[in-house]
Amino acid sequence: MLDAPAVKRLADALRVALAGQRILRFHTAWRRLQCSSWPEVVAGLRLVEVASIGKNLLFHLEGGVVLFTHLSRGGRWELLPRGPWSARRDPRVKVSLTLERCRAVLYHGPIFEVLEERALASHAFLSRLGPCVLALPFDAALFARRLTHKRHLLREIADVLFDREVVAGIGNCLKSESLFEAGISPFRLAGRLDDGEQRRLGWSLSLVSQRAYRQAGRTLTDDDLALLGAIAAATEVRRHYVYGLAGAACLRCQTPIQRRRHGVSARLSFFCPTCQPED
Ligand SMILES: [Zn+2]
């Protein structure tokens, strides 16, 4: 699944390609939408902006209409040239927007809604999200309040970071890389983090996510990348500090990086046992 930096880059690309164009035709495979007045309302509106919140994409149309998608479970938007084509013949297509110069198609997306802008603040899904990890400034105080809710106290911190009501937009890579940046073991219980560690983790989540957004997913800093190239020309260039690197040497202390599963969904965490002690 895409994380917040990847969804924001997608929003940037869609904005460049689509903003300013009028939607000529709106097709959807969802019966509840077909039976509503939305297809008629959406056709004819100009697309004003494409934005992201966590892993959610929002197409803002003129007249205060918003198309909302959560890109989970294989959902993806693609741009296609205009031309003869029927979305009805392709069962993968959930939404097709025919615009003045191209076509935007949503494949497999499990969540798609058409909303009025004023309904966003009370939306059942969006209104419960924790702070977006890419928001500037990142709302570290709200993150700390959600993190320390009593239902999370006995959960491992790596598991809690996947809870979208604590922080929105975290994927497996950002989780491992942010915990490494903060020097916190993925297996510490959330309720055992002190105030300083909570602040450091919030700061690390924001820092690493901004870096991943700017660097197309790479979380390694330019300085460390240059250093790697300078000290070991034969070393395969790496993109991360720990993610996907089990057995490789930690760049800070040379300890072999480890990986371990955690939580009910048995997600993998990558970590340095020296830089991220468990006690
Ligand atoms: Zn280390």
Give 21 Cα–ligand 1 centroid separation in angstroms: 50
254-265, pLDDT tens digit by residue?
Answer: 999 999 998 777
Residue type, 257: I
Mean pLDDT calculated for residue range 236-240: 81
> How confident is the model at residue 74, as a pLDDT?
78
Region(s) of the chain under CATH 3.20.190.10: 4-128
Give 91 Cα–ligand 1 centroid separation in angstroms: 48
Tell me how far apart the alpha carbons of residues 66 and 62 are, in angstroms, rounded to a whole number.
9
Topology of domain 4-128, per CATH? N-terminal domain of MutM-like DNA repair proteins (3.20.190)
Topology of domain 140-271, per CATH? Helicase, Ruva Protein; domain 3 (1.10.8)
Give 121 Cα–ligand 1 centroid separation in angstroms: 42
Give 236 Cα–ligand 1 centroid separation in angstroms: 19
Q: Is the pLDDT of residue 234 over 60?
A: no
- The structure tokens 């890579």 sit at 173
Tell me how far apart the alpha carbons of residues 115 and 172 are, in angstroms, rounded to a whole number.
30
Give 144 Cα–ligand 1 centroid separation in angstroms: 26
Give 7 Cα–ligand 1 centroid separation in angstroms: 30
Give 163 Cα–ligand 1 centroid separation in angstroms: 27
Cβ atoms within 10 Å of 133's Cβ, excluding its own: 29
Give 274 Cα–ligand 1 centroid separation in angstroms: 5
Mean pLDDT calculated for residue range 196-219: 97
Residue 119 CB contacts under 8 Å (≥ 6 apart), including other chains: none
Q: Kindly indicate the confidence band of residue 268, based on its pLDDT and cuts at 50, 70 and 90.
A: very high
> How confident is the model at residue 233, as a pLDDT?
52
Mean pLDDT calculated for residue range 99-115: 91
Give 218 Cα–ligand 1 centroid separation in angstroms: 19
Residue 53 CB contacts under 8 Å (≥ 6 apart), including other chains: 126, 129, 132, 168, 169
Cβ atoms within 10 Å of 196's Cβ, excluding its own: 8
Give 180 Cα–ligand 1 centroid separation in angstroms: 8
Give 257 Cα–ligand 1 centroid separation in angstroms: 8
Give 224 Cα–ligand 1 centroid separation in angstroms: 14
Whether 138 and 206 have beta carbons less than 8 Å apart is answered as yes
> How confident is the model at residue 81, as a pLDDT?
87
> How confident is the model at residue 164, as a pLDDT?
93
Residue 124 CB contacts under 8 Å (≥ 6 apart), including other chains: none
Which of the two residues, 21 and 70, has the higher pLDDT score?
A: 21
Tell me how far apart the alpha carbons of residues 168 and 70 are, in angstroms, rounded to a whole number.
12
Mean pLDDT calculated for residue range 231-240: 68
Residue 200 CB contacts under 8 Å (≥ 6 apart), including other chains: 182, 183, 184
pTM of the model: 0.91
Q: Is the pLDDT of residue 266 over 90?
A: no
Region(s) of the chain under CATH 1.10.8.50: 140-271
Tell me how far apart the alpha carbons of residues 127 and 197 are, in angstroms, rounded to a whole number.
27
> How confident is the model at residue 167, as a pLDDT?
97
75-89, pLDDT tens digit by residue?
Answer: 889 999 887 777 667
> How confident is the model at residue 200, as a pLDDT?
97
Give 258 Cα–ligand 1 centroid separation in angstroms: 10
Give 96 Cα–ligand 1 centroid separation in angstroms: 48
Half-sphere exposure of 251 (CA within 13 A, CB side): 23
Mean pLDDT calculated for residue range 92-113: 91
Q: What is the 3-state secondary structure (H, E, C) of 65-125?
A: EEEEEECCCCCEEEEEECCCCCHHHCCCEEEEEEECCEEEEEECCCEEEEEEHHHHHHCCC
Specify the range with the lowest mean pLDDT, choosing from 1-5, 22-26, 63-67, 207-211: 1-5
Give 182 Cα–ligand 1 centroid separation in angstroms: 12
Which of the two residues, 154 and 36, has the higher pLDDT score?
A: 154
> How confident is the model at residue 232, as a pLDDT?
58
Give 175 Cα–ligand 1 centroid separation in angstroms: 16
- The structure tokens 């990986």 sit at 259
Host H or E run for residue 61 = strand 56-61
Whether 69 and 57 have beta carbons less than 8 Å apart is answered as yes
Q: Measured in Å, how far apart are the chain's first and last C-alpha atoms?
A: 31
